[in-house]
Structure 1
């Protein structure tokens, strides 16, 4: 009797989604065995900046733990430290331009990522170090680096995958997990377009001294995700953990410092303002010029107040050059300041999505605004759902791909549009009367959700 040939799956992209999928397929090899290969266009694990903090939701945590084996899960505290009781509030607060609280949804304490994953009602999140999570997921994975996919060719037997270095590979199923600019998506669905919001998003990882973190906590409480709304279509966001990090050895103040992610969003048309009088030219390869550009906008768009002064102090902490000193900058970073255009992809914006041996996950299929923090969670959920669908693989039947895509399209399109809607709402300039309406609406919403949260807690109290 002829032994059944083990099918080959190729994953292009070693981000959170691609790596989660790899682990899940290997974890479930006793149910269905695959020859899994994973390729990445970067030349090494440290080739590129790997992102800021993210909020890992209870749904994302459920899928992550479904995907990874116990050996990887045991290292999750490196990337997802347990919440500090009575110190950290893993939730979000939204304030107006001078620091008045408009929205602070109720949060439910949880012990660790495992307890979070068991929460089935509502949506909670634990602040996670994205770069360290990727490091944890890379452990034991034989990624083939410096392999940029440029095209593929489908045949009746499978898929040929071609790389920029001239090499090619054959597989039964090809999965594009290669980001918003995915060559695989562009070939598979050329009509699926990226939507540009006309909004600029600048982000940096910073190291915040305790005295400055105390100022921030005085305004925002100990909420780890803090957003402030301006009146000119601008908004700021800081996300952190109140876990001290090691600093450079010659730190004169010798006080605790905290790793934080800082972002500033504003209408892209403000990038075109005349800055000749300031003799400053914004150059994305010169972090100092980007930081000065952000500080200039904050000074021009925000009122003189304690919150504005705090924002300027925080932005002044962003490294003015590209750091390469692992002691001075203890968290891995490629470029500490990233100025990007906000964009998304709605996977259901086209009439048809033909299922084949080539499918997509993560940003390649449904990039979304970072405003609600849904992107990484959806990518990991994709990996979980797709790995379960692949257990139904048979040589001559790929209906399981259609099953995965149907669920993925519905789930992620809703989150793309939700994120887009919120982004446009908070990025619309408002006059004095509009500010009153906006702030009043948020305060009413805050009262309602806190009331219903209180009632819900009474009814479903553990």
Structure 2
């Protein structure tokens, strides 16, 4: 280990960049500087909640100091349901249970969590005030003669480090310079998305399957499917904070964790992009178009759309990263959406970013302790491409299956899940016990 600390510049204070920062700061011996273009910590805390799967949970556990990890588990509800595949009339095809996802493990690090984006980012920011510079919009980097990397910002300022990490999201300026051929391109799919409040009134008519986990609705024909994800847990979060989870000792304000955590069900109608309305349509127009796509479906699914505030309905065409061949590694690298952005079908984006952060932290800490730096980054990039590009392929495949108009393909998908469900029922039946006859 050298006398001077390893200097790491992180561009972007999203989930992946902050998780990496937490891991490096907690381990010591690393000078971490996070540069965020937004003016303050509150500027980018809004958004839909996140499903953290066991891969993401294990990665987050590796990144967070113990106090923050305990605060995360105490303030993040564990959904009782997994993901259920159902017909347009909500008949069950197959369900991947929570135990299926966690392998039956009771270790919180193997858990599945439904977490407020605001809560997670607030926790990830804890203790990093001295390491983050806001209002720093990245422009470009240059590699110096001594091998160090200098980041240049639009205000004319610079910062120099041994490593520069692009954690600046789907439109990454770092990626555009580092890997200009790794473009982000439009997907063939898109969708509507909105949130329906999950309160006593809506619980009275919503089927239980739509209030306990995730659901993917697969009709036998058409060019659309529907995804829902329930995010209960405000009461549990309030109770955790009231009971005390060490938040004050972490420098956290309980009020900020409670902000924007009302329970809701996220619903999304996923469709071929050609079936989506043009940009600029108002909420009632989007609502009517979404209802038209689910004509004849379960009344509960249609009611979810009609009971939603039209002003909250958004429509977008999905985009995804181009999968490129391995590149020569350097003292610049990227993580998360900056390199493997994917259609939001399957909830893999944030989890992949957390895996990146944990792996890169391990490799940089090895370099801190004397391992060669560029080979350490190369080892990270090799593993990151494995799961990151795998997640892009899986999300793209999910989007394609959700939007195909091919009735044969849809019947095959539905038949596959029915077969899995039948096999599970058969294997779960108690076996008859036979006794050999006495001689």
- For the aligned pair, the TM-score class normalised by the smaller chain equals 0.7 to 0.9
For 2:153, the equivalent position in structure 1 comes to: 163
For 2:86, the equivalent position in structure 1 comes to: 95
Aligned residue for 1:386, secondary structure, equals helix
**Structure 1 or 2: larger helix share?**
2
For 2:14, the equivalent position in structure 1 comes to: 15
Deviation of 1:107 after TM superposition, in Å, equals 3.0
Confirm or deny: 8 A CA contact 1:52 1:130 kept in the other structure: yes
**Matched residue count:** 397
Confirm or deny: 8 A CA contact 1:235 1:264 kept in the other structure: yes
1:184 and 2:174 are equivalent in the alignment? yes
1:136 and 2:123 are equivalent in the alignment? yes
For 1:270, the equivalent position in structure 2 comes to: 275
Question: Of residues 147, 152, 159 in structure 1, which corresponds to 2:141?
Answer: 152
Confirm or deny: 8 A CA contact 1:378 1:412 kept in the other structure: yes
In the alignment, the residues of structure 2 paired with residue 116 and residue 307 of structure 1 have an alpha-carbon distance, to the nearest angstrom, of 36
For 2:309, the equivalent position in structure 1 comes to: 317
Confirm or deny: 8 A CA contact 1:192 1:350 kept in the other structure: yes
In the alignment, the residues of structure 2 paired with residue 110 and residue 103 of structure 1 have an alpha-carbon distance, to the nearest angstrom, of 14
How does 1:276-295 map onto structure 2 within 5 Å?
283=280, 289-290=282-283, 292-295=285-288
Confirm or deny: 8 A CA contact 1:264 1:294 kept in the other structure: no
For 1:251, the equivalent position in structure 2 comes to: none
For 1:174, the equivalent position in structure 2 comes to: 164
How does 1:184-203 map onto structure 2 within 5 Å?
184-203=174-193
In the alignment, the residues of structure 2 paired with residue 147 and residue 453 of structure 1 have an alpha-carbon distance, to the nearest angstrom, of 57
Aligned residue for 2:97, secondary structure, equals coil
For 2:70, the equivalent position in structure 1 comes to: 74
Question: Of residues 426, 437, 446 in structure 1, which corresponds to 2:421?
Answer: 446
Deviation of 1:435 after TM superposition, in Å, equals 5.1
1:296 and 2:289 are equivalent in the alignment? yes
In the alignment, the residues of structure 1 paired with residue 427 and residue 201 of structure 2 have an alpha-carbon distance, to the nearest angstrom, of 36
Aligned residue for 1:104, secondary structure, equals strand
In the alignment, the residues of structure 2 paired with residue 350 and residue 453 of structure 1 have an alpha-carbon distance, to the nearest angstrom, of 44
Q: 1:170-201: per-residue Cα shift (whole Å, max 9, x none)?
A: 11100000111101001011111223212223
In the alignment, the residues of structure 1 paired with residue 145 and residue 9 of structure 2 have an alpha-carbon distance, to the nearest angstrom, of 17
Q: 1:378-423: per-residue Cα shift (whole Å, max 9, x none)?
A: 1111111111101222596421111111111122212211221121
Confirm or deny: 8 A CA contact 1:93 1:223 kept in the other structure: no
1:228 and 2:217 are equivalent in the alignment? yes
Structure 1 residues 118 and 138: CA distance shift in structure 2, 3 A: closer
For 1:258, the equivalent position in structure 2 comes to: 263
Q: 1:138-189: per-residue Cα shift (whole Å, max 9, x none)?
A: 1221221121111101123201101122211111100000111101001011
In the alignment, the residues of structure 2 paired with residue 396 and residue 434 of structure 1 have an alpha-carbon distance, to the nearest angstrom, of 49
Confirm or deny: 8 A CA contact 2:319 2:341 kept in the other structure: yes
Q: 1:20-66: per-residue Cα shift (whole Å, max 9, x none)?
A: 1101001111xxx1110001111222223532122211121111111
Question: Of residues 41, 55, 60 in structure 2, which corresponds to 1:59?
Answer: 55
What TM-score results when the alignment is normalised by the length of structure 2? 0.82
Q: 1:348-401: per-residue Cα shift (whole Å, max 9, x none)?
A: x32341100001111111112221211111111111111110122259642111
For 2:351, the equivalent position in structure 1 comes to: 377
Deviation of 1:439 after TM superposition, in Å, equals 2.6
Confirm or deny: 8 A CA contact 1:94 1:227 kept in the other structure: yes
In the alignment, the residues of structure 1 paired with residue 372 and residue 113 of structure 2 have an alpha-carbon distance, to the nearest angstrom, of 42
Q: 1:201-236: per-residue Cα shift (whole Å, max 9, x none)?
A: 332344233232242234x26531122234322222
1:416 and 2:410 are equivalent in the alignment? no
In the alignment, the residues of structure 2 paired with residue 387 and residue 207 of structure 1 have an alpha-carbon distance, to the nearest angstrom, of 38
Structure 1 residues 102 and 66: CA distance shift in structure 2, 3 A: same
What TM-score results when the alignment is normalised by the length of structure 1? 0.78
Deviation of 1:450 after TM superposition, in Å, equals 5.9
Question: Of residues 342, 363, 366 in structure 2, which corresponds to 1:368?
Answer: 342
Confirm or deny: 8 A CA contact 2:286 2:313 kept in the other structure: no
Question: Of residues 188, 204, 223 in structure 1, which corresponds to 2:194?
Answer: 204
**5+ unaligned residues in a row in structure 2: which ranges?**
238-261, 431-439
In the alignment, the residues of structure 1 paired with residue 359 and residue 429 of structure 2 have an alpha-carbon distance, to the nearest angstrom, of 33
**5+ unaligned residues in a row in structure 1: which ranges?**
247-256, 274-281, 321-335, 456-462
Structure 1 residues 7 and 221: CA distance shift in structure 2, 3 A: closer
Aligned residue for 2:363, secondary structure, equals helix
Structure 1 residues 13 and 114: CA distance shift in structure 2, 3 A: farther
Confirm or deny: 8 A CA contact 2:51 2:114 kept in the other structure: yes
For 1:108, the equivalent position in structure 2 comes to: 99
